[in-house]
Copies of this chain bind each other. A is one copy, B any other.
């Protein structure tokens, strides 16, 4: 159920995009213990001038590989989120060659009644999920 929106700088190949999405989903499934088909991902690509990602003074150097991931989800524990952050950068580096310094993630939390996956039903309320 988490909805994942990726903002990237344009120029990646189909295969590179696919790998990013596959790896992120794999990490999500493990970190949050969600079903394999709990996959909702949207990618938006931008010209370099349309995406400014600095570092709040942390000394993080960004490259055109920079990736901003916005996750909308029901509540997840702090520990789960931290595991997700860690595991995500490890896998994105190992599989996609994206530096851990290029990955920014932010979460927004909502509730059971805030999701309808189809058929106009709120599946977390109906007992279907």
Contacts and interface: CB of A to CB of B under 8 A. Distances in A.
Interface of A: 1, 3, 7, 14, 17-18, 21, 25, 34-46, 49-58, 60, 68, 70, 72, 78, 81-82, 85-90, 100-110, 113-123, 125, 128-129
A78 B118 contact: no
Which applies to chain A's interface (DSSP): helix, strand, loop or mixed? mixed
Number of copies: 3
Contact of A58 (B105, B114, B117): B117
Given A39-B52, A50-B43, A103 B120 contact: yes
A120 B85 contact: yes
B42 A7 contact: yes
With most chain B CB atoms within 10 A of its CB, the pick from A53, A60, A120 is: A120
A46 B49 contact: no
Name the 9 nearest CB pairs between A and B, nearest first. A89-B120, A107-B114, A43-B50, A85-B116, A86-B120, A39-B54, A37-B54, A60-B118, A41-B52
A119 B105 CA distance: 10
